[in-house]
């Protein structure tokens, strides 16, 4: 990446696993050489901050920030040479999420393949559309070989881009966060670590497309169509959790 990029993990439904995924992607990006990477936790519960405080490794870095200082802190991170900032957001606070999303180069929406999670994703999609931010759905905590996982992917694809990598529900994935580590540091050859690596590679490709959207002369080129929240026919799709009027 030629400049600092910001990935925001957003979900207005609690239990989507966004904090765990944000921590894993931050570590994976660092391991893959995409750093220096910094994490920011904007959730008042501070789950990501508490996890980071348990880490022995100094990377990724952690930036203590609040909404009112986010502009300044991101400028400071850019000046300090960070290449990627990963931001975790609070659940169920629409205004707060919207403010954080405004700083995103890419928004990741972790979504469990369940009817409740699919219904709840609508307001977050609204925020991304209102802020004109590219978004990616990441199916998380899925049950292997469950039909609903495929059904959820198909349903989400009508409203935006779905990452081609599914994170499955395994004990090692969540348990690895207990002592400030990730599954890549505990079982680097396991399936969970492989899924995180593949998800990062996909997100990295999307970020690289953003760099490619600026020509050598500095002229901004139209963003890649992969980010448009349209169905295969090119029409705007209705969003989960809303009724058409």
- Rounded to the nearest angstrom, the gap between the alpha carbon of residue 19 and the centroid of all alpha carbons in its chain is 9
> For the chain, what are the domain ranges?
5-227
Please report how the helices 94-101 and 122-131 are oriented relative to each other, as an axis angle in degrees rounded to 10. 40
Whether residue 110 contacts residue 21, with contact meaning beta carbons closer than 8 Å, is answered with yes
Closest C-alpha to 236, from 163, 129, 138: 129
DSSP 8-state class, residue 238: P
| Residue pLDDT tens, the chain, 245 long | 568 999 999 998 888 999 999 999 999 999 999 999 999 999 988 999 999 999 999 999 999 988 788 999 999 999 999 999 999 998 877 788 999 999 999 999 999 999 999 988 999 999 999 999 999 999 999 998 899 999 999 999 999 999 999 999 998 887 888 999 999 999 999 999 999 999 999 999 999 988 776 544 454 443 333 333 333 323 333 334 433 33
Q: Which residues have CB under 8 Å from 40's CB, separation 6+? A: 62, 63, 65, 70, 73, 85, 86, 87, 88
Q: Which CATH class is domain 5-227?
A: alpha beta
* pLDDT of res. 237: 37
* pLDDT of res. 67: 79
Closest C-alpha to 19, from 93, 91, 72: 91
Query: Which residue is listed with tokens 């993990």?
Result: 9
Closest C-alpha to 142, from 103, 184, 199: 199
Query: Which residue is listed with tokens 């994935």?
Result: 173
* pLDDT of res. 225: 34
Query: What are the φ and ψ backbone dihedral angles of 47, each rounded to 5 degrees?
Result: -65, -40
pTM score, two decimals?
0.85
Q: Measure the CA–CA gap between 123 and 110, rounded to whole angstroms.
A: 14
CB atoms within 10 A of CB 187: 16
Integer angstrom CA distances of residue 205 from 6, 19, 196, 201: 14, 22, 14, 6
* pLDDT of res. 238: 37
Sort residue 211 into left (φ over 0), alpha (ψ -120 to 50) or beta. Answer: alpha
Query: Which residue is listed with tokens 């169509």?
Result: 225
Query: What are the φ and ψ backbone dihedral angles of 37, each rounded to 5 degrees?
Result: -115, 140
């Amino acid at each position: 990446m030629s400049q600092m990029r910001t990935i925001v993990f957003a979900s207005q439904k609690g239990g989507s696993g966004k904090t765990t995924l944000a921590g894993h992607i931050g570590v994976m990006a660092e391991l893959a050489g995409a750093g220096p990477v910094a994490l920011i936790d904007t959730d008042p519960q501070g789950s990501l901050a508490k996890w980071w405080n348990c880490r022995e490794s100094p990377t990724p870095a952690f930036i203590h920030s609040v909404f009112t200082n986010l502009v300044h802190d991101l400028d400071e991170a850019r000046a300090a040479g960070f290449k990627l900032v990963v931001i975790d957001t609070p659940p169920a606070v629409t205004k707060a999420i919207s403010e954080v999303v405004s700083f995103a180069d890419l928004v990741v929406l972790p979504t469990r393949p369940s009817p409740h999670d699919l219904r709840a994703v609508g307001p977050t999609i609204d925020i991304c559309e209102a802020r004109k931010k590219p978004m990616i759905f990441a199916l998380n905590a899925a049950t292997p070989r469950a039909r609903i996982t495929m059904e959820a992917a198909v349903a989400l694809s009508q409203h935006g881009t779905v990452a081609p990598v599914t994170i499955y529900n395994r004990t090692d994935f969540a348990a690895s966060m207990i002592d400030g580590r990730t599954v890549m540091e505990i079982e680097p050859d396991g399936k969970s670590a492989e899924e995180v690596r593949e998800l990062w590679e996909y997100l990295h490709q999307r970020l690289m497309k953003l760099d490619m959207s600026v020509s050598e002369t500095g002229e901004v080129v139209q963003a890649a169509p992969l980010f448009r929240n349209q169905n295969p026919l090119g029409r705007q799709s209705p969003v989960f959790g809303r009724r058409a009027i």
